[in-house]
């Protein structure tokens, strides 16, 4: 937690003195993503003409973002990394680092990430993107000077609610909320709501206070671009280029990036910690399990970093 970021980050249990990623031993570099809205250049950044990039911001791929990170490493004078660690979209970056820059990555941790973004995942993403674009306040992406400071918050909140359903599992939602009401007013008539509806609303609205709609579209499109085998003779040939000792980890209840994708990575990478199979954590939390089951994730990261 700090100025501009009122709550602590997800990684506090994994990164720090004595933690799995031990800052008493390692210098940790955590670059913001190109195209994001909290540090690196993104659609809300000011272009050379003095106006926001907005809809003019270029299409980015995962490979473009890793190319920017490689330039950062050059600037910092880092020839190779002891480890590149990432989960979900960050896991796409980690695998792209290991395939595209094998001489610069000694170890890689790929957590809950796929080798490619599938048609099913692209379809889910496309609905989220259209939800943002149909908000009248989106204005084709040119909403920064609207004057009301609102922007397409309703569309962005709804897109986030849709995404959250992919991040969590049916088991967790059903056991956590069941058919409970949010208040004493029945949801079977007018005015009442189910507790799970309120939960989704809360997280959707919270997201709009810290994120930019154009960045959301830019980053979702980058995830859609992900195909580690593109222009590399396919996924298996691409994975065969990896020389890093690799940890591949997935969650058994992940419905966003199902475990078969992690197993495919593990089969294709020559040097994994666990042979031809990914490490599979059992969790009711779905895709977000890699962020929540920190003790189990930490144990496997310690194995990797000690290898």
What is the set of active-site residues? 88, 254, 287
The residue ranges of DSSP E strands in the chain, in sequence order, are 15-16, 21-22, 84-87, 107-111, 245-251, 279-281
Backbone angles phi, psi at 46, to 5 degrees: -85, 125
54 conformational bin, left if phi > 0, alpha if psi -120 to 50, beta if neither: left
Distance, in Å, from the CA atom of 114 to the CA atom of 123, rounded to the nearest integer, reads 16
**152 CB burial (10 A radius; 0-12, 13-18, 19+):** buried
Structure tokens at 114: 């796929």
Q: Are 115 and 229 in contact (CB under 8 A)?
A: yes
């Amino acid at each position: 937690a700090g100025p501009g970021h009122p709550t602590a980050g997800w990684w506090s249990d994994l990164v720090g003195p004595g933690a799995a990623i031990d800052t008493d031993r390692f210098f940790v570099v955590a670059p913001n993503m190109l195209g994001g809205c909290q540090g690196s250049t993104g659609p809300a950044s000011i272009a050379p003409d003095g106006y926001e990039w907005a809809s003019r911001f270029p299409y980015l791929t995962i490979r473009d973002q890793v190319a920017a990170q490689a330039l950062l490493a050059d600037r910092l004078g880092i020839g190779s990394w002891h480890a590149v660690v990432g989960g979900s979209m960050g896991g796409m970056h980690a695998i792209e680092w290991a395939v595209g820059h094998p001489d610069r990555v000694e170890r890689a941790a790929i957590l809950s990430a796929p080798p490619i973004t599938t048609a099913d995942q692209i379809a889910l993403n496309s609905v989220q993107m259209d939800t943002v674009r149909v908000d009248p306040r989106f204005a084709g992406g040119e909403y920064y000077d609207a004057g009301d400071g609102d922007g397409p918050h309703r569309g962005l909140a709804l897109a986030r609610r849709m995404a959250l359903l992919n991040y969590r599992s049916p088991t967790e939602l059903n056991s956590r909320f069941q058919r409970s009401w949010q208040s004493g007013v029945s949801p079977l008539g007018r005015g009442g709501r189910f507790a799970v509806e309120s939960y989704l609303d809360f997280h959707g609205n919270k997201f709009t206070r810290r994120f930019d709609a154009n960045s959301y579209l830019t980053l979702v499109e980058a995830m859609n671009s992900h195909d580690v085998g593109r222009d590399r003779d396919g996924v298996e040939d691409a994975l065969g280029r990896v020389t890093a000792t690799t940890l591949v980890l997935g969650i058994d209840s992940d419905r966003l990036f199902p475990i078969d994708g992690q197993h495919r990575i593990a089969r294709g990478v020559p040097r994994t910690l666990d042979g031809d199979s990914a490490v599979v954590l059992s969790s009711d939390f779905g895709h977000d399990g890699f962020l929540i089951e920190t003790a189990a994730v930490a144990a496997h990261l310690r194995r990797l970093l000690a290898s």
